[in-house]
Amino acid sequence: MDNQLMEPVRWFETVYLEIYNYITDTVMWVTIGKAAVKILFIYIAARILVSVLTGSVNRIFKQRGKFQVDERRMETMRSLVINVFTYVIYFVAILSILTQLGFNLAPVLASAGVVGLAVGFGAQNLVRDVITGFFIIFEDQFAVGDYIATGNFTGTVQEIGLRITKIKSVTGEVHIIPNGSITQVTNFSTQNSVAVLDISVAYEENIERVIEVLKEEMKNAPEEIEELLSVPQVLGVQNFGASEVVIRMNADCKPMGHFAANRKLRAMIKRIFDERGIEIPYPRLVTIPNPKEKGQEA
């Protein structure tokens, strides 16, 4: 009975001695201290290196006079280079920290080639996305801030990565598109746009007078509408409608400025027509009474 009571006590003493020896092991604490100092040094060195490289890349890309590249492409490439450097530095830092923690990375690195080959067969779409993303950036097909149309999506480019592109539509939705699926792109932001405006006037109006009024008044349009780059050109009669004559005009605008220019031109033309007494058409219904019914009523 006494032996049964002593067994828990002996077990407790054994555990206590093991914990005590573990805690008071100076060699272990020295090893842990050295590893902690090395890990802290690796972390600080990685942060400093990232900060230095980021500053260096920013300074290099700010010297635009040495590069025949526009600001859009410079900003996109600057962000991409910084991201690549950051990922590489932190990846190397993580491997170094794992080594300090006692992990043996040699088998992992030795099998990286075999794993990479196996992943390559199963990640063909990923490889295609990355290659396409590289050529999108390298060829400057579009950049962050551009208004583009690709497939069924139209909107402003928010982010370009090596694998995906994010496009924000005018209604606020953000479309995330794999770069490999981007086969055709229409970029509205790289060249000057053209505002095309169809103006309807009533058949009763003198068309030659309307055209002359428009030509005269449009000379002041670039001063009122900042999106315009030139005086709008009145091309002439474009079409005959059910109750109107359609006159077409166009104007060169800043990139993506044709939307705002069209709205402002319409408001300006409405004011001009009101001042000059030019009638804007509206649907009309002409009723012709039946002569027989009129005679019967008499």
State what percent of residues in the chain have pLDDT above 90: 10
3-state secondary structure of 196: strand
pLDDT tens, position by position, 178-189: 888 888 888 888
**Which pLDDT belongs to residue 1?**
47
Distance CA 41, CA 43 (A): 5
Query: For position 144, what pLDDT does the model report?
Result: 81
Q: Does residue 74 register a pLDDT over 80?
A: no
CA atoms within 13 A on the CB side of 214: 27
CATH code at 2-110: 1.10.287.1260
Q: How far apart are CA 45 and CA 177, in angstroms?
A: 36
pLDDT, position 65: 46
Mean pLDDT across the chain: 79
pLDDT, position 258: 86
Instruction: State yes or no: pLDDT of 116 exceeds 80.
Output: no
Find the mean pLDDT for residues 40-63.
83
CATH number, span 193-276: 3.30.70.100
pLDDT digits (tens, 9 = 90+) for 63-73: 654 445 566 66
Please, which pLDDT band fits residue 105 given cuts at 50, 70 and 90?
A: low
Q: Which of 45, 35, 37, 40 is nearest to 90 (CA)?
A: 45
Half-sphere exposure of 249 (CA within 13 A, CB side): 24
Q: Which backbone phi and psi does 288 adopt, to 5 degrees?
A: -110, 115
**Assigned architecture for domain 139-187:** Roll (2.30)
User: Which pLDDT score, from 0 to 100, does residue 25 have?
Assistant: 66
Range with lowest mean pLDDT among 252-256, 271-275, 292-296: 292-296
Domain boundaries, the chain: 2-110, 139-187, 193-276
Taking 90 as the threshold, does the pLDDT of residue 248 lie above it? Answer: yes
Q: Which of 3-7, 187-191, 272-276 has the lowest mean pLDDT?
A: 3-7
The pTM (predicted TM-score) of the whole model is 0.53
Instruction: pLDDT band for 230, please (50, 70, 90 cuts).
Output: confident
